[in-house]
A and B are shown apart, each in its own frame.
Chain A
Amino acid sequence: MAAITTGVHAVAAHHEAHDDYAVQLRRNRLGLWLFFISEAFLFGGLLATRFYLWGNTRPELDQAIGLIVTSVLLLSSVSMRLAETAMEKGNRQLFSIFILLTAFFGLVFLGGVVIFEWGLIPAIYQGHLTPWGDKYGAVVFAMTGMHALHVVSGIVFIFIVWNLARKGHFSPQRHWGVESCAIYWHYVDVVWIFFYPALYLIGNAVHLSH
């Protein structure tokens, strides 16, 4: 939350003269990483649920879709890194291009999850699972849903940061807003690196009769 603090505001957020940007930056970074540790328990709980209910089995999911969305998400981390580097070098134009590219990749990932994995628009793609059908559907929807929620918030975050940069709010020295957005995006990416094998690769595929 404090993550959205832009360069100027991090200074204004605290009142006394001895509170300078570097001090607040240190606190913000620690706070963000503590938030990640906390979130790790949320995602860990979902993983524990998956192994408790599925054990050494997994549902029949479309492997092509899994591979494509995972690749796109990994690519988005590369473009996010390039965006941050551009900001560090003061190249605003390149920053805008790469951060919007990241958001685009994020939207592609989201589309892959919602339209194909979930089969939310049957006219385009008929999904295999329903959230209420069985334990496979329930856990797939819970894990991808919780992850997708974080991707959505990451995309919102990207647009906020992009808009602030457009208004000239960051500098190569002071861009906590960009930095936190980038770390958050990478974090959501890392979560998927654990979720992808847990959903698509580990265990024997089973086809349940209802």
Chain B
Amino acid sequence: MQLTSLGLVRGIIGYFVGLVIGMAVVMISRLALGMSAWDQEAGWVGGIVFATIGFMLAVGSMTDWLKWTRGVETPFHHGPPVGKPAWTRYFSVDYNHKVIGIQYGVTGFLLLIIGGSFALVFRAELADSGISFLQPGTYNTFLSMHAWVALASILLGVGGMANYLVPLMIGAEDMAFPRLNAFAYWINVPAIITLMISMLFGWDSGWTAYPPLSLRGPVGYQMVFWAIFGIGLSSILGSLNLIVTMLTMRPKGMTLFRMPIFCWAILATSIIQLTATQLIGLAFLMLSFERTLGMPFFNPLYNALGENIGGQPLLFQHLFWFYSHPAVYVFVLPGLGIISELLPVFARKPLFGYRWIALSSLAIALVGFLVWGHHMFTSGYGEYLRVVFMISTLLVAVPTGVKFFSWLGTLWGGRLTFPTPMLFTLGAISVFLIGGLSGPILATAATDLFLHDSYFVVGHFHATIFGGFVFPFFAAIYYWYPKITGRMYNETLGKIHFWLMTPGFWVMSLAQMTAGTMGMRRRIADYDPALGVEPVHMLITIAGFVIAFSILLMIYNLFTSAEVGALAGNNPWRSRSPEWQIPSPVPEHSYARPITVVGEPYDYGLAGSTYVAMAGAGDD
């Protein structure tokens, strides 16, 4: 087998060929306009754009579309590639949503490890006061990279769960637009390469990339802008695909209120991703153009009369947070959906208040569009806005509270069992509670004025993200692992993972909040030992390494169990969801016959109730 038969290898070659071509095009254009050939801003922008196109062409994600424009038919190929080992399909363009889901999930997990490792690097630096091995500039690059790599990992992880599970859960053959699905995955890969290249040049503003700092910093910013633009494009196209899939491909009998609850979470998430993502794309595009061409959107510019004829830095914050606050709900809503999905299975009881949960996801998504200004309490915008944004932000607590009470209601009186996925689900609730309770303190303008830019914010944010994404993501991996591989993971190792990671995270999160209230600022390489935060920082660092070690156990578990784990059978969890009624691992065509929904999804423990009727062989 030749190496270039792998789409990924061809794509990477295409990326670097495109990079060279793009830079050459910019240099020739500049010479033609009578300027010096090389300008690093313009050169890199041209290079990155061409490199991304080069990757997408070379990997083969646009081949079918380009044939369509010429009127050439492209029959749909199903199954592993002909004449190549089966594993190669995961490294090439494949249209099966299960393959794409795994591609998303594994890439997301890989980025989670990389992003987490960046955190370990600067956590080690912070363990004691004084600069030990990271100079402040490098520290800032690591910190900023930790943020965007981890956020990319979450977006990809969410994409993995959604792409793998949604078509299975609604009994669909595949996604509505399989080619678009593959394109939406693959556009992430050149974006990630671009993001990694930014480390060579550095950038130091934290993930928010506020101007004017981001307009003056090193050229690494250009790579960040365009990388995030690519990942954002993936979000938009992927969510479009998911909405169409859920609205048009449900089986007979599955009304919207009979969808598995995870689908509701993904529907709400997709609404945010489809729309709000455009605003961060636009904001980063404007930053890139301001750097490259000097278009004054954000940097003020004064004329002889002292009038500002240039831009306003605050405009960026508005555009940025209009996406980046709802984005937090993109990160957590799917995870909260996983919690609601798993609890009834392990409590053997109906999900408490199904409709309320479904609608609370939508409510969080919609209220989420009105709260961005709470990130700007200290920015100097109109003071009257503080009250408006404070009230709208506190409103988010209402639908979130609905979810908590539904979870409690589901657990209440249930016949609980505690395998690893259930442990992680409960861990997620506990961690999300820490994040949730620290939220109103930051949403209230009066207290936020003191806590803004402190480690309290860091603690709050990580608790929401671990509770809303990381813990549920791990729960989902353990839960659907037997469906994906056909084998059980090692339960003992899974439990050790949980009992290391959960207390580790509690300590880390609460210690971060404590450091914040003691006066520790975020995003700085060093601190004054007189604050008394040194032992707290040591604690956070140790907890961080414990969490990292526990995740290594998980990786070991997942790798070895795929070979030696016990055969899982079709439905080890006795779930009612359609994907558990078919063989594990799921065959190439998931459902041999269309399924029919005949009852409510979560009537666990109710005698004689069924959710899905599977047509038997020969039964039409």
Contact = CB atoms under 8 A, between A and B. Distances in A.
B149 interface: no
Contact of B282 (A1, A5, A23, A45): A45
Given A15-B78, A49-B315, A142-B289, A135 B296 contact: yes
A34 B65 contact: no
A9 B74 contact: yes
Contacts of A8: 73
Nearest to B247: A30
A210 B303 contact: yes
Given A2-B177, A12-B73, A15-B78, A38 B281 contact: no
Interface string A15-58: 11011000100110011001101111110011011001100000
Interface in A155-175: 160, 163-164, 167, 169
A69 B243 CA distance: 37
Contact of B309 (A2, A4, A210): A210
A31 B69 contact: no
A9 B173 contact: no
B74 A137 contact: no
B68 A209 contact: no
A134 interface: yes
B8 to A, nearest CB: 22
B71 A164 contact: yes
A208 interface: yes
A160 to B, nearest CB: 5
Given A38-B275, A41-B279, A52-B318, A14 B76 contact: yes
A38 B278 contact: yes
Interface in B540-572: none
B583 interface: no
Interface string B293-327: 11111000101110101111001001100100000
Contacts of B315: 49, 52-53
Contacts of B176: 27, 31
Interface string B154-189: 000000000000000000010011111001000000
A131 B310 CA distance: 11
A13 interface: yes
A181 to B, nearest CB: 12
B68 A27 contact: no
Nearest to A41: B278
Interface in B229-258: 236-237, 240-241, 243-244, 247-249
Interface string B399-425: 000000000000000000000000000
A98 interface: no
Contacts of A135: 296-297, 301, 309-311
A138 interface: yes
B319 A2 contact: no
A209 B69 contact: no
Contacts of B74: 9, 12-13
A52 B42 CA distance: 27
A13 B175 CA distance: 12
Contacts of A137: 295
B286 interface: yes
B119 interface: no
B608 interface: no
A120 B539 CA distance: 61
A139 B243 CA distance: 33
B34 interface: no
Contacts of B274: 34, 37-38
Contacts of B282: 42, 45-46
A166 to B, nearest CB: 10
A96 interface: no
B380 interface: no
Contacts of B76: 12-15
Contacts of A41: 275-276, 278-279
Which of under 10, 10 to 19, 20 to 34, or 35 or more describes the interface residues of A?
Answer: 35 or more
Contacts of A15: 76, 78, 173
A132 B65 contact: no
Contacts of B618: none
B229 to A, nearest CB: 12
Contacts of B249: 27
A208 B307 contact: yes
B75 interface: yes
A141 interface: yes
A169 B71 contact: yes
Given A30-B244, A132-B295, A138-B295, A12 B278 contact: no
Nearest to A10: B68
Contacts of B278: 38-39, 41-42, 45
Contacts of B69: 4, 160, 164
Contacts of A5: 68
A140 B493 CA distance: 60
A45 B279 contact: yes
Contacts of A9: 68, 73-74
A79 interface: no
B33 to A, nearest CB: 12
Nearest to B282: A45
A34 B243 contact: yes
Given A12-B75, A37-B275, A142-B286, A45 B240 contact: no
A102 interface: no
Given A45-B278, A164-B71, A208-B303, A134 B296 contact: yes
A142 B295 contact: yes
A1 B276 contact: no
Contacts of B241: 31
A209 B306 CA distance: 10
A6 interface: yes
Q: Which of B74, B180, B282 has the most CB of A within 10 A?
A: B282
A40 B463 CA distance: 34
Interface string B524-543: 00000000000000000000
Contacts of A131: 289, 293-295
B244 A34 contact: yes
Contact of A49 (B237, B297, B305): B297
B324 to A, nearest CB: 13
A45 B247 contact: no
Contacts of A23: 248
Contacts of B297: 49, 53, 135, 138-139, 142
26 contacts: A1-B65, A6-B71, A9-B68, A12-B75, A13-B76, A16-B173, A27-B248, A27-B249, A30-B247, A30-B248, A34-B274, A35-B240, A38-B236, A38-B240, A38-B274, A40-B275, A41-B276, A45-B283, A45-B319, A48-B319, A49-B286, A52-B318, A132-B296, A163-B71, A208-B303, A208-B307
Nearest 8 interchain pairs by C-beta: A132-B294, A138-B295, A41-B278, A134-B309, A42-B278, A45-B282, A15-B76, A41-B275
Interface of A: 1-2, 4-6, 8-9, 12-16, 18-19, 23, 26-27, 30-31, 34-35, 37-42, 45-46, 48-49, 52-53, 131-132, 134-139, 141-142, 160, 163-164, 167, 169, 208-210
